[in-house]
């Protein structure tokens, strides 16, 4: 099924827009253009930052967490404050409002995830209740919101939990659009591997033309300087200059939009 482009009226039809963001940069990277277009249309897109709470000060950090801190150029005391400052800068660009849910990043959840082999695999069995806890923390009072949740392209455990949260919201009758996680989707075959693993429970549904919001999307991505090297050098294998980032992201967006800069969304079948 070929996804269809949505009009501005269709995009803005719900009264609330809540973007489920596993980590601090996921909305800017994956669907920042859509969030900016919603904001420009007069709505107030909300970003629910799921796994952004502070590490437990009573628990020592694992060597894996310490290694990532060194890559980011932040120590344990700075990491959350630094990431939230980056989020605030990106929010100012996109016109979003951030709210922080009380859950910690996988690297801070004890010794469940001690390396990439565990971080990009099946979530720990004792975390099966996390999606329900996430929904409870959202304190929903009505059915009027549209939710935007990740497909979990790349299989990061936190993204998988957010995907399962989106699926449960859809099961409960909420409108949920699933976005393609970037930069994971930039790796050839990554999105196909994920949709194959999900199976027929989701379907490609709509395209959002973000041509007129492209500059804001790139500006928002650049608001996360602590992550640029990890994302665009180590993972995407390009560079951290604006032109390099824009070129890599635009190549994917034009492929998705058949020549037009688009973000693609999926829905539960």
pLDDT for 263 equals: 98
What is the pLDDT at residue 1?
58
Beta-strand (E) ranges in 14-96?
16-21, 45-49
- Domain of 26, CATH number, reads 3.40.50.10320
At residue 269, the pLDDT reads: 86
Please state, in angstroms and rounded to a whole number, the distance separating the CA atoms of residues 29 and 73.
20
Mean pLDDT in residue range 37-47: 97
C-alpha distance across the termini of the chain, in Å: 12
**How does pLDDT run across 192-228, given as a tens digit for each residue?**
999 999 999 998 889 999 999 999 999 999 999 999 9
The overall average pLDDT reported for the chain is 94
Look at residue 72 in the predicted model and tell me its pLDDT.
82
Instruction: State the residue range of the domain holding 154.
Output: 4-268
Question: Structural domain tally of the chain?
Answer: 1
Strand partners, 206: 4, 265
Question: Count of CB atoms within 10 A of residue 137's CB?
Answer: 15
3-state secondary structure of 250: helix
Q: Which two tokens stand for residue 51?
A: 């796994």
Predicted local confidence at residue 73, as pLDDT: 82
* 3 or 122, higher pLDDT: 122
Average pLDDT over residues 131-154: 93
Is a pLDDT exceeding 80 seen at residue 93? Answer: yes
Please write the tens of the pLDDT for every residue from 143-172: 789 999 999 999 999 999 999 999 999 999
Examine the pLDDT at 2 and tell me if it is beyond 80.
no
Show the tokens assigned to 242: 């604006």
* Residue 230 burial class via C-beta count within 10 angstroms: exposed 0-12, middle 13-18, buried 19 and up: middle
Per residue in 221-261, pLDDT tens?
999 999 999 899 998 999 999 999 999 999 999 999 999 99
Whole-model pTM? Answer: 0.96
Q: What is the dihedral of CA 63, 66, 71, 75, to 10 degrees?
A: -170
Q: pLDDT tens-digit profile of 45-81?
A: 999 999 999 999 899 999 999 998 888 887 777 889 9
Average pLDDT over residues 118-131: 97
What region, left, alpha or beta, does residue 181 occupy, with left being phi > 0 and alpha being psi -120 to 50 degrees?
Answer: beta
When pLDDT is averaged across residues 184-195 and rounded to a whole number, the result is 94
Number of H helices, E strands in the chain: 11, 8
């Amino acid at each position: 099924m070929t996804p269809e482009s949505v009009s501005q009226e269709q995009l803005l039809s719900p009264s609330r827009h809540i973007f489920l963001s596993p980590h601090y940069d996921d909305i800017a990277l994956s669907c920042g253009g859509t969030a900016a277009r919603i904001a420009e249309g007069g709505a107030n897109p909300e970003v629910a930052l799921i796994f952004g709470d502070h590490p437990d000060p009573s628990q020592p950090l694992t060597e894996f967490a310490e290694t990532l801190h060194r890559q980011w150029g932040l120590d344990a005391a700075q990491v959350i404050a630094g990431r939230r400052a980056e989020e605030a800068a990106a929010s100012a660009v996109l016109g979003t409002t951030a709210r922080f849910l009380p859950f910690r990043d996988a690297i801070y959840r004890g010794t469940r995830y001690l390396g990439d082999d565990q971080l990009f695999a099946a979530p720990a069995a004792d975390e099966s209740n996390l999606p329900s806890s996430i929904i409870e923390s959202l304190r929903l009072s009505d059915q009027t919101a549209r939710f935007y949740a990740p497909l979990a392209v790349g299989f990061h455990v936190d993204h998988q939990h957010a995907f399962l949260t989106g699926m449960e919201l859809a099961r409960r009758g909420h409108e949920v659009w699933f976005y393609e996680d970037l930069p994971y989707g930039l790796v050839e075959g990554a999105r196909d591997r994920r949709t194959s693993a999900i199976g027929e429970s989701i379907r490609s549904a709509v395209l959002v033309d973000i041509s007129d919001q492209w500059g804001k999307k790139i500006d928002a991505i650049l608001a996360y300087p602590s992550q640029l090297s990890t994302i665009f050098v180590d993972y995407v294998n390009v560079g951290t200059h604006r032109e390099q980032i824009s070129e890599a992201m635009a190549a994917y967006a034009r492929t998705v939009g058949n020549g037009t800069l688009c973000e693609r969304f999926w829905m539960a079948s």
